[in-house]
Structure 1
Amino acid sequence: MTAVGRRPSGDRPAGGATRGPFPPEPVPPVLGPAIEQPLFGAPDRMRGLIVGFVLLLVAVLTRFWDLKHPTDKGTPVFDEKHYVPQAWQILTGGNWIEDNPGYGLVVHPPVGKWLLAASEAIFGYGPVGWRFGSAVAGVAVVLMIYCVVRRMTRSTLVGAIAGVFAICDGVLFVQSRMGMLDIFQVLFVVAAFAALIADRDQVRERMYRVYLEGRIDDTPFGPRLGFRWYRFTAGVMLGLCCGTKWSGIYFVVFFTVLSLGFDVAARRAYHVRRPWMGTLRRDVLPSGASLAVLPILIYLATFLPWINSETAVYRYQVGNTIGTGGTWSWVPGALRSLWYYESGILEFHAGLTNSAGNHHPWESKPWTWPMGLRPMLYAYQSGPDQCGTGECVRAQMLIGSPAMWWLALPMLLWGLWSFVMRRDWRYAAVITAYAAGFLPWFAEIDRQMYYFYASVMAPLLVMGLALCCGDFLRWANSTARARPERRILALLIVAIYIGAVVTNFVWLWPILTGSPISPAQWNQQIWLPSWR
């Protein structure tokens, strides 16, 4: 984005031919002090399409390769054992709800299991059927990460770096090949984030148009911006996220704050006299409706099959466990029964505490997640029968690629500095979303937790690291005329780092896919004592 009268933090000067990966930007007409021209997304569309297609192809090849492994003697592994049969029962039971009394308490909403059921409807009850939908979601996540980073940076190169990082991250890769719910939650989080970034850009385009028309001072609060489809889309995605796992509510809160922050910044950028009050008067209620109320309505809508079912667990508690009178007697019985059901789930989760004696050999606490210090073993089999000759091991671990995850803290520190000192909104967006998947878990630290809860942090880590690479290249590009060797050195360093990420992914491939390896190779894969 360019500006007249000032140079945006983190960008090179506008106008003129430049060398390197960042396209030249046109000099806008002189409109007044520091008025931003809305230039969003990289201008090299054809190259962007080609790069996106290549990333899509690589993502498909990696995500769909040998989906049949690993299994537990032909049955699901790890938490697939919960969600895969529930999805099958949703598919075959006729009610689109898991109403088998043998399941007892079903602790997650149905959206993710509907997607698993759709996959099983196509490919049947087998490993490919369990995992095909997850693989599709994983490919979509890679493509969306590429697109949103390309839009934020106006650079196809930086977007491509983000896409490569997404392909090579162990957490995104493994979750894309498992019949679990987490990759679907990641899908909806990334989609909501991308929609909010597009909404930010659209708002600035509308503000720019109002400024050109001379209407920016018609009111001290700034203009009304009309219906915002991208913000509405973000609300839909957040509703589906909550309909997959309850932890989606954290993103509802953080993304609502992020959207309002974007609105305040837009009004300030175009010299609205009272930007904060303008946001309060013009944006808070619409944002709340789209990003807070709409997700709740969508969440409730996901339980319509439960409400319409005659056999769903806890469906008819009113008149049985719950009395028909009392303060809340005016609430429909179906909603009261649903509240009873949901409160039971909350009690279940609240009771899974270490102090109550609940322990798991692979549990971890959130302070270990940013660097992936305590990964999870999803499957392990050993013996000569695993590869035909000699002793060998088939193991699958959920593990973040150390070449990226071990740089999480430096990335976060640089991002915070860039936002506070340089007012770089891109890092504010990424760190806010990262915090939504991380900080709320510290509020219930005694609870059993697992590394796969950090799956939603992985795409934001990838984006943040790509932004850092882009900053490094921009710095070198801005000094290329005076110090051309600096640009060459920067390109070489970034290329070496990308090569290290790819190499790390290739090295971890056997334990990300459950491929047969020797016991010696298995030991070589374990870099830290906490990985055992």
Structure 2
Amino acid sequence: MPDILRYLTPTILFALVLLTALFCLFGWYWSLVRNSRGLLPHILLQGGTGVRLPPKPKFSFAGRCHPMVRLDWVLLVLVTAVYAATAFFRLGSTTAPTSFLSCAETGTSVTVSLTEPVLVSKLWYYPGLGTGGYNLEISSDGEHWSTLWTRTAEDGTSTEYYWADAADYAPGYHLEQNYDDLFKWLEVDPVNDLEVRYLRLTARVDRGPLELGELVLFDENGQAVDAAALSQDESPLFDEFSAVPEDISWYNSTYFDEIYHARTAYEHIRGIYPYEISHPPLGKLILGLGIQLFGMTPFGWRFMGTLFGVLMLPVLYVFLKNLFGKSIVAFCGTALFAFDFMHLTQTRIATIDTYGVFFILLMYYFMYRYLTLPAGTTFKEGAPWLFLSGLFWGIGAASKWTVIYGGVGLALLYFIGLWFKLRDWPRSQKDEPAVLVPLGPWLVKTLSFSVLCFVLLPAVIYVLSYLPYAYASGDMSLANLLNITWDNQVYMLTYHQGVHDTHPYESRWYQWIVDGRPILYYLDYQENNMKSAFAAFSNPVVCWGGLLALLSTAVRMVQKRCGRGLFIVIAYFSQLAPWFFIFRTTFAYHYFPSILFLVFALCYIFDEWIELEPEQGRTALCVTTGAAVLLYAAFYPVLIGLSVPRWYTTNCLQWFLSWPF
């Protein structure tokens, strides 16, 4: 009991109210289903009359794909535009240092002199590529030098910087540039202030080239000094004072896995063999397009992910309209996903998960279009849908391995659908001459083409995605490309199996499905009882309501022998089930692909509700969507890192103690 009580907070009342409302909502739905005899549709006899009910239906994916109408395009543009405005708002700084001091080897040194002395109270620096460190020395007269050094603070738990007489110390490279320090502003605040007119920087190169973008000196009043105006020498260390931010935050620096993926994208652009090779390359190549458009700035490395997050919505809307045929279901379903918390947070961070989810959505959409074709459809009519499904599965797999998990579900749906088509293939009837598609040739063509689309094409895409590795190695031969590709697969498998380090925000799949443990990406306590923080987790309406909807969809799938329900259940579990057997360190964002299909499950239930009771169903759908939008607005500050009073997050947003903001 104490372990349970320690997670309780006064704000848990918000969670209890929402959960009660959701259970009542689904209780209402199931009451309606029972009253409509939906649970007993296949009773053999009616009241002893001997009249048989219609035969039990067969599972089938075949059906009509409902087209878009003018209203759909209006609603699609509306929800996409509103979401895009919230997604691109304060996405990241459009400025950052672009000229770098490059040090090719250890011992590289640069000296800068100023026209007048400056009392230095602290300094900032902005590392670029490479890892290593710098020995920083300052002098007021050019003869007596002080070096930056570190020591353990009095509390014994932290390290503090101080200036020491360089004559008494060997060079110490205490201005560090580690792999997790790149493309972010770092602060050094020595305990003693010294006057500086001459500055000397000497590099230690661990992995080159070692690049330093900007060095900022602060005077005794804590004001940044435009050293370029005082410098007698031109130096890339002081040439971009306009790029210096007012403060250091996520807005102008890398955070979480951006330190890997944004850097890797930039290394591909520069033709440098990447440091981070724990995922396939294509996601980082897509990410790099934003850098090429807007420079190596926070906005540049986050742009493509946010754009793909926006582009998911039109695809989803068309998918839902094709699936259910109701504009209100397509609109509200798209809004539920648009205003899901994780959809916003994950697409604004420069990692590769966004691209995986985008291609998962596309590959399932085109597979669904193929499966809905009735048995007897010509090979030519079905081939484009198979090709597009395989194409986007291949592109997605070359972006992140989580798409391969979805490929298992895709294959299962394909073979189940193929069996349905073979079972229902039209046979010519006696005395009814008809032109029918021959089954044998159709099956041979379909299977052969499927191998091309889902095996050969993805394999080619996957191998070609490693061309930047081959280019950086200096050998573009096919043999080298294949060797690099194979070696990287071995490395990735070994790497991910070995990730078992504990993390304060790690979580398992059974926590994801109930929003049990969000992952905190950023936290900064500020003056005046303000704070800036954001975390990745799902909108409780989508997470909890979607889970109830998924369970209901599974039941109704069996009761109605419904192909649409089967499609949704398989798609959801193909993304989640592999995590049942993965015991490495995992986080809430791994649930992102599955959240997509929670929305499908919600739409499935509300679509049936509208079929049974149109007014009730529409009202329930709109109220549910409205609740999700209200929560999105309430939690928006802790989804993008806006500064808010601490009382607001504590008294309104921290529904559980495991929610870390």
For the criterion TM > 0.5, the same-fold answer is: yes
Aligned to 1:335: 482
Aligned to 1:438: 576
Moved over 6 A (4+): 36-39, 275-280
Q: 5+ residue gaps in structure 2?
A: 1-32, 37-56, 94-247, 429-437
CA gap 1:266/1:225 in 2 versus in 1, 3 angstroms: farther
Post-superposition offset of 1:352: 1.2
2: CA distance between counterparts of 1:471 and 1:374?
A: 32
Aligned to 2:28: none
Aligned to 1:176: 347
Aligned to 1:429: 567
Aligned to 2:146: none
Post-superposition offset of 1:394: 0.5
Aligned partner letter, 1:83: H
Q: Decide which of 117, 126, 129 is 2:288's aligned counterpart.
A: 117
Q: Decide which of 378, 385, 389 is 1:234's aligned counterpart.
A: 389
Q: Is the 8 Å Cα contact of residues 537 and 589 (structure 2) preserved in structure 1? A: no
Aligned to 1:300: 463
Q: Decide which of 57, 63, 74 is 2:252's aligned counterpart.
A: 74
Q: TM-score, normalised by structure 2?
A: 0.62
Q: What's the secondary structure of 2:521's corresponding residue?
A: strand
Q: What's the secondary structure of 2:599's corresponding residue?
A: helix
Post-superposition offset of 1:265: 2.3
Q: Is the 8 Å Cα contact of residues 301 and 350 (structure 2) preserved in structure 1? A: yes
Aligned to 2:273: 99
CA gap 1:235/1:298 in 2 versus in 1, 3 angstroms: same
Matched, 1:450 2:624: no
Post-superposition offset of 1:109: 1.3
Aligned to 1:462: 599
CA gap 1:163/1:297 in 2 versus in 1, 3 angstroms: same
Q: 5+ residue gaps in structure 1?
A: 1-8, 13-32, 211-222, 317-330, 385-389, 478-486
Matched, 1:261 2:261: no
Matched, 1:492 2:604: no
CA gap 1:233/1:224 in 2 versus in 1, 3 angstroms: closer
Q: Is the 8 Å Cα contact of residues 415 and 431 (structure 1) preserved in structure 2? A: yes
Matched, 1:190 2:361: yes
Post-superposition offset of 1:165: 0.6
2: CA distance between counterparts of 1:394 and 1:59?
A: 22
Q: What's the secondary structure of 1:397's corresponding residue?
A: strand
Q: CA RMSD in A?
A: 3.1
Post-superposition offset of 1:507: 1.1
Post-superposition offset of 1:272: 5.6
**1:447-481 deviation per Cα after TM superposition (whole angstroms, max 9, x unaligned):** 1111111111121111221221111111113xxxx
Q: What's the secondary structure of 2:348's corresponding residue?
A: coil
Structure ID, larger Rg: 2
Post-superposition offset of 1:436: 1.7
Q: Is the 8 Å Cα contact of residues 61 and 371 (structure 2) preserved in structure 1? A: no
Matched, 1:42 2:180: no
Q: Which has the higher strand share?
A: 2
Aligned partner letter, 1:374: R
**1:119-166 deviation per Cα after TM superposition (whole angstroms, max 9, x unaligned):** 011111222112111111001111111110110111111111111111
CA gap 1:180/1:224 in 2 versus in 1, 3 angstroms: closer
2: CA distance between counterparts of 1:277 and 1:432?
A: 28
1: CA distance between counterparts of 2:394 and 2:73?
A: 30
Matched, 1:472 2:609: yes
Q: What's the secondary structure of 2:626's corresponding residue?
A: helix
Post-superposition offset of 1:277: 9.5
Post-superposition offset of 1:281: 5.4
Q: What's the secondary structure of 1:374's corresponding residue?
A: coil
CA gap 1:466/1:55 in 2 versus in 1, 3 angstroms: same
Q: Decide which of 317, 324, 349 is 1:146's aligned counterpart.
A: 317
Aligned to 1:344: 491
Q: Is the 8 Å Cα contact of residues 263 and 279 (structure 1) preserved in structure 2? A: no
2: CA distance between counterparts of 1:238 and 1:267?
A: 25
Aligned partner letter, 2:596: P
Q: Is the 8 Å Cα contact of residues 371 and 405 (structure 1) preserved in structure 2? A: yes
Q: Decide which of 519, 522, 529 is 1:376's aligned counterpart.
A: 519
Aligned partner letter, 1:362: Y
Q: TM-score, normalised by structure 1?
A: 0.77
Matched, 1:366 2:509: yes
Q: Decide which of 267, 272, 275 is 1:89's aligned counterpart.
A: 267
CA gap 1:309/1:383 in 2 versus in 1, 3 angstroms: closer
Post-superposition offset of 1:278: 9.7
1: CA distance between counterparts of 2:575 and 2:61?
A: 33
Q: Decide which of 286, 302, 312 is 1:131's aligned counterpart.
A: 302
**1:304-333 deviation per Cα after TM superposition (whole angstroms, max 9, x unaligned):** 232344358xx99xxxxxxxxxxxxxx945
Q: Which has the higher helix share?
A: 1
The sequence identity of aligned pairs, in percent, is: 21
Post-superposition offset of 1:232: 0.9
2: CA distance between counterparts of 1:431 and 1:128?
A: 37
Q: Decide which of 67, 88, 101 is 1:64's aligned counterpart.
A: 88
Post-superposition offset of 1:269: 4.1
Q: Is the 8 Å Cα contact of residues 146 and 162 (structure 1) preserved in structure 2? A: yes
Aligned to 1:483: none
2: CA distance between counterparts of 1:145 and 1:227?
A: 21
Q: What's the secondary structure of 2:520's corresponding residue?
A: strand
Q: What's the secondary structure of 1:437's corresponding residue?
A: helix
Aligned partner letter, 1:79: D
2: CA distance between counterparts of 1:63 and 1:336?
A: 40
1: CA distance between counterparts of 2:600 and 2:565?
A: 9
Q: What's the secondary structure of 2:250's corresponding residue?
A: coil
**1:352-401 deviation per Cα after TM superposition (whole angstroms, max 9, x unaligned):** 13xxxx111111111212222111111111112xxxxx220100111100
Q: What's the secondary structure of 1:531's corresponding residue?
A: coil
Q: Is the 8 Å Cα contact of residues 370 and 382 (structure 2) preserved in structure 1? A: no
